[in-house]
Amino acid sequence: MSDAQEIDESQFDYDYVPPHLVERRNNWRNLSFGERLELVREMSIAAWAKLGVVHDPSKPMDRTIRRVARKG
């Protein structure tokens, strides 16, 4: 992370599933291998976003992530 802040994972809900992915997660056995990988990718991005950490989509080969300041 660019600002080297630690993330307090103890506050994170490990069972978190974004509302738009609940149905696909519940029916994961009916998905193809590729669809399962895509579901895992989408859930991972959503979980990081919930923590306030995002990947810059304009740099797809850049594996770094940056911390986003939350408002509120």
CA atoms within 13 A on the CB side of 53: 19
- ∠ CA 10-48-67 to the nearest 5 degrees? 95
Q: What is the dihedral of CA 24, 30, 32, 36, to 10 degrees?
A: 40
Note whether 67 and 1 are within 8 A (CB): yes
Distance CA 41, CA 6 (A): 22
Query: Which residues are registered as beta bridge partners of 70?
Result: none
Per-residue model confidence as pLDDT tens for the chain (72 residues): 444 456 666 777 778 888 999 999 999 999 999 999 999 988 888 887 777 777 666 766 665 555 555 554
